[in-house]
């Protein structure tokens, strides 16, 4: 398509004798609507305020946040839940930068999203002449996302939006940046020509069928296994290939281990789930099939003590470059997860050997022992409340409402909740993901409620909550069915550190006996204060049943947590540190 600067068009061509005109504002909205965009998450300001108004008037739901990072996180998780790019809209320079963390996080986590930012006058920006919010946003975004585009001419809007959508969802999904200079919005175009320039993206994430020889190689290896394991990553949850994956697990009877956000494809309570025997299955398995899971730090890079020696890996991934990233992959299977798992099932024909019974029994025994060991801790009604007592009741809340969505961040609050709370359905657990990033809480909770209409339970460390806490106003403003439980232990990891040098508090500690529940009351939401598991259960049940925006301050023993939750081993140690 040729790009004719609109201001160069002959006046008479656009204003006289032709009934209708359109402009950048409307074409962008039309392009998004044509491609099924229903919701935009953002923060208004120059040059996008009117654009947001017009999008709202055109029937797009526009959810306005208090900070772009949370709007960006909302867009990212909307993309994950819907398998379509979530849209975040920001102003130039500072707004763009605020959204960028979410864009980078989305790319790292393979969530499809598009960050659309208004930008300043190109001519001035490029000569660095000091424009309002001057910044070369495209250059800055490029290394942090999967693709970055700028649209200069209104008749390229169709192409630009199509490229952004395709880049976000095809192959391995990720974040895309779309730069819209202020001038673009006002550019006028003949309405007919404008309409013709739009593109409805055909098959944005096509099936990618694995090669037959890869399928055979994977099946041969799996058949040879004595202690097989299937490891499900959040890619498996994203793929929405739930039935196919369940069929594979049923057919093979192989124990499976879900990564955090893959929990619930089959319930954590399923007899094959090895979640409660994680250490054992990682160490003892001989053949491991990775489905949409990467061998990154969360899996100790596939080697070392946790893995107890060399394994043979089968890896299903849509991204060929992922293979051999950390250890040798004996049987790579490149394609989309549904196609790959379907091909494996087809190749298994009618009969497939069960794993040796001593392996199944070993896993089961370990799992049952660990579950039994944990059980009494989860039913305590201690005061001061500890993590296990509090999480024991939240576990029941989810068991009683398996359709609710759980958002979770923090350190102890995250690690313990992940292990304790069983999930029963796919894509119901949303958390800090690959980076372990704090600040996703309210953005994820808002988008989960907006996109699914289901009740949301956000379990937040008090530090974690602080990163996005102001968005409780957004939750109240849109009257969303979100119940936030702040695990208030007065600090990061613990609330007991002491600074022995001066009167400043230790830098991991917050104000003691604080009442986060008061925050939501300021905006008309329901606040509650819980000091025992019983009180907590009552307050959460009420919130989940009423659907009213609620924040429960769960007072947790400041001494109950441990440094960095379960990953304290990643802290560097000083040999010289003075005690």
Ligand X SMILES: Cc1ncc(C[n+]2csc(CCOP(=O)(O)OP(=O)(O)O)c2C)c(N)n1
* Listed ranges 109-117, 225-233, 243-251, 488-496: which one lies at the site for Mg ion (CB under 5 A): 488-496
Tokens matching residue 342: 């379907």
**Is 463 one of the binding residues for ligand X (CB under 6 A)?**
yes
- Candidate residues 32, 62, 281, 411; the one interacting with ligand X per rule CB under 6 A: 411
- Candidate residues 40, 161, 464, 536; the one interacting with ligand X per rule CB under 6 A: 464
**Is 493 one of the binding residues for ligand X (CB under 6 A)?**
yes
Show contacts with ligand X in window 185-214 (CB under 6 A): none
Based on CB atoms, which residue is closest to Mg ion, 154 or 459? 459
Q: Nearest distance from residue 345's CB to Mg ion, in Å?
A: 45
Q: Nearest distance from residue 496's CB to Mg ion, in Å?
A: 11
Q: Nearest distance from residue 411's CB to ligand X, in Å?
A: 3
Q: Nearest distance from residue 422's CB to Mg ion, in Å?
A: 23
* Size of the chain, expressed as the number of residues it contains: 579
**For residue 329, how far is the Cα from the chain centroid?**
27
Give the other-Cβ count within 10 Å of 159's Cβ. 18
* Listed ranges 42-50, 80-88, 285-293, 430-438: which one lies at the site for ligand X (CB under 6 A): 430-438
* Listed ranges 305-313, 327-335, 478-486, 487-495: which one lies at the site for Mg ion (CB under 5 A): 487-495
Please check whether residue 458 is in contact with residue 448, taking contact to mean a CB–CB distance below 8 angstroms. no
Q: Nearest distance from residue 492's CB to Mg ion, in Å?
A: 6
Q: Which does 565 bind (CB under 5 to 8 A by kind): Mg ion, ligand X, none?
A: ligand X
Helices (H) and strands (E) in the chain, counts: 23, 19
- Candidate residues 434, 489, 532, 550; the one interacting with ligand X per rule CB under 6 A: 489
Residue 417: asked if its preceding bond is cis (omega within 30°), the reply is no
User: Taking the alpha carbons of 483, 410, 98, 322 in that order, is the dihedral positive or negative?
Assistant: negative
**Is 489 one of the binding residues for Mg ion (CB under 5 A)?**
yes
**Is 461 one of the binding residues for ligand X (CB under 6 A)?**
yes
Buried b (16+ CB within 10 A) or exposed e, 447-473: bbbbbbeebbbbbbbbbbbbbbbebbb
Q: Nearest distance from residue 525's CB to ligand X, in Å?
A: 21
**Is 439 one of the binding residues for ligand X (CB under 6 A)?**
yes
Q: Which does 438 bind (CB under 5 to 8 A by kind): ligand X, Mg ion, none?
A: ligand X
Q: Which does 422 bind (CB under 5 to 8 A by kind): ligand X, Mg ion, none?
A: none
Q: State the DSSP string of 267-331.
A: -TTSTTB-GGGHHHHHHH-SEEEEES---SGGGGGG-SGGGTS--EEEEEES-GGGTTSSS--SE
* Residue ranges in 401-440 assigned as alpha helix (H): 412-420
Find the residue with minimal CB distance to ligand X: 461
Tokens matching residue 198: 């739009």
User: Taking the alpha carbons of 116, 120, 123, 125 in that order, is the dihedral positive or negative?
Assistant: negative
Backbone torsion region of residue 393, taken as left when φ is above 0, otherwise alpha when ψ lies between -120 and 50, otherwise beta? alpha
**Is 462 one of the binding residues for Mg ion (CB under 5 A)?**
yes
- Candidate residues 24, 292, 335, 565; the one interacting with ligand X per rule CB under 6 A: 565
**Is 461 one of the binding residues for Mg ion (CB under 5 A)?**
yes
Residues in contact with ligand X, total (CB under 6 A)?
19
Based on CB atoms, which residue is closest to ligand X, 65 or 467? 467
**Is 460 one of the binding residues for Mg ion (CB under 5 A)?**
no
* Residue ranges in 128-238 assigned as alpha helix (H): 137-141, 157-169, 182-186, 191-197, 212-224, 234-238
**Is 417 one of the binding residues for ligand X (CB under 6 A)?**
no
Tokens matching residue 345: 């099932």
Q: Which does 156 bind (CB under 5 to 8 A by kind): Mg ion, ligand X, none?
A: none
Q: Nearest distance from residue 467's CB to ligand X, in Å?
A: 7
* Listed ranges 233-241, 258-266, 350-358, 456-464: which one lies at the site for ligand X (CB under 6 A): 456-464
Q: Which does 158 bind (CB under 5 to 8 A by kind): ligand X, Mg ion, none?
A: none
* Listed ranges 32-40, 92-100, 420-428, 458-466: which one lies at the site for ligand X (CB under 6 A): 458-466
What are the Cα distances from residue 279, in Å, to 262, 285, 370, 378?
18, 10, 11, 21
**Is 492 one of the binding residues for ligand X (CB under 6 A)?**
yes
Q: Which does 436 bind (CB under 5 to 8 A by kind): Mg ion, ligand X, none?
A: ligand X
Rounded to an integer, what distance in angstroms lies between the CA atom of residue 567 and that of residue 262?
20
Q: Nearest distance from residue 521's CB to ligand X, in Å?
A: 21
Strand partners for 63: 41
- Candidate residues 99, 204, 392, 410; the one interacting with ligand X per rule CB under 6 A: 410
**Is 117 one of the binding residues for ligand X (CB under 6 A)?**
no
User: In 3D, which of 275, 326, 333 has the Cα closest to residue 304?
Assistant: 326
Based on CB atoms, which residue is closest to Mg ion, 233 or 561? 561
Rounded to an integer, what distance in angstroms lies between the CA atom of residue 417 and that of residue 269?
15
**Is 437 one of the binding residues for ligand X (CB under 6 A)?**
yes
List strand residue ranges (DSSP E) for 402-549, in order. 405-409, 429-431, 456-461, 482-488, 526-530
What contacts 344, CB < 8 A, 6 or more positions away? 215, 218, 219, 222, 248, 333
Based on CB atoms, which residue is closest to Mg ion, 173 or 495? 495
User: In 3D, which of 483, 480, 475 has the Cα closest to residue 457?
Assistant: 483
Based on CB atoms, which residue is closest to ligand X, 410 or 426? 410
Q: Nearest distance from residue 490's CB to ligand X, in Å?
A: 9
Q: Nearest distance from residue 412's CB to Mg ion, in Å?
A: 7
Please check whether residue 51 is in contact with residue 58, taking contact to mean a CB–CB distance below 8 angstroms. no
* Interface with ligand X (CB under 6 A): 410-413, 436-439, 461-464, 487, 489, 491-493, 561, 565
């Amino acid at each position: 398509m040729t790009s004719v600067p609109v201001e160069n068009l002959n006046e008479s061509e656009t204003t006289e004798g032709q009934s209708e005109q359109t402009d950048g504002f409307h074409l962008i909205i039309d392009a998004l609507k044509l491609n099924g965009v229903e919701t935009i998450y953002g923060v208004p300001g120059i040059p996008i305020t009117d654009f947001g108004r017009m999008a709202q008037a055109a029937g797009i739901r526009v959810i306005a946040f208090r900070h772009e990072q949370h709007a960006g996180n909302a867009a990212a998780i909307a993309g994950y839940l819907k398998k379509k790019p979530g849209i975040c809209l920001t102003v130039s320079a500072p707004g763009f930068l605020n959204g960028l963390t979410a864009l980078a996080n989305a790319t790292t986590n393979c969530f499809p999203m598009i960050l659309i930012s208004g930008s300043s006058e190109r001519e001035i920006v490029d000569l660095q002449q000091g424009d309002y919010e001057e910044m070369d946003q495209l250059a800055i975004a490029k290394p942090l996302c999967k693709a970055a585009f700028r649209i200069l001419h209104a008749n390229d809007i169709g192409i630009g939006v199509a490229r952004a959508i395709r880049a976000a969802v095809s192959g391995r999904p990720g974040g895309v940046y779309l730069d819209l200079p202020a001038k673009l919005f006002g550019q006028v175009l003949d309405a007919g020509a404008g309409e013709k320039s739009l593109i409805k993206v055909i098959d944005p994430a096509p099936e990618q069928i694995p090669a037959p020889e890869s399928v055979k190689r994977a099946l041969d290896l799996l058949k040879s296994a004595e202690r097989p394991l299937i490891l499900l990553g959040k890619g498996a949850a994203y793929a929405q290939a739930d039935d196919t994956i369940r069929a594979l697990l049923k057919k093979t009877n192989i124990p499976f281990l879900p990564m955090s956000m893959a929990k619930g494809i089959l319930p954590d309570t399923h007899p094959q789930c090895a979640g409660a025997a994680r250490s054992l299955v990682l160490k003892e398995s001989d053949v491991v099939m990775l489905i949409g899971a990467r061998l990154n730090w969360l899996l100790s890079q596939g080697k070392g003590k946790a893995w107890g020696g060399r394994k043979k890996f089968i890896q299903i991934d849509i991204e060929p470059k992922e293979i051999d990233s950390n250890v040798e992959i004996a049987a790579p299977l490149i394609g989309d997860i549904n196609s790959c798992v379907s091909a494996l099932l087809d190749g298994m024909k009618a009969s497939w050997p069960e794993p040796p019974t001593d392996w199944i029994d070993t896993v089961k025994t370990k799992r049952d022992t660990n579950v039994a060991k944990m059980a009494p801790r989860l039913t305590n009604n201690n005061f001061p409340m500890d993590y296990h007592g509090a999480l024991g009741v939240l576990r029941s809340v989810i068991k009683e409402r398996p359709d609710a969505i759980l958002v979770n961040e923090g350190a102890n609050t995250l690690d313990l909740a992940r292990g304790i709370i069983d999930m029963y359905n796919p894509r119901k657990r949303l958390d800090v993901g690959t980076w372990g990033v704090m600040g996703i809480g309210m953005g994820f909770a808002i988008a989960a409620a907006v996109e699914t209409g289901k009740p949301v339970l956000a379990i937040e460390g008090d530090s974690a909550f602080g990163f996005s806490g102001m968005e409780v106003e957004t939750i109240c403003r849109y009257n969303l069915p979100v119940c936030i439980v702040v695990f208030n232990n007065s600090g990061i990891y613990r609330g007991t550190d002491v600074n022995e040098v001066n009167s400043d508090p230790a830098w991991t500690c917050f104000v003691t006996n604080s009442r986060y529940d008061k925050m939501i009351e300021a905006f008309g939401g329901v606040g509650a204060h819980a000091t025992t598991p019983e009180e907590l259960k009552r307050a959460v049940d009420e919130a989940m049943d009423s659907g009213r925006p609620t924040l429960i301050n769960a007072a947790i023993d400041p001494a109950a947590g441990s440094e960095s939750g379960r990953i304290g081993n990643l802290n560097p140690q000083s040999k010289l540190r003075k005690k």
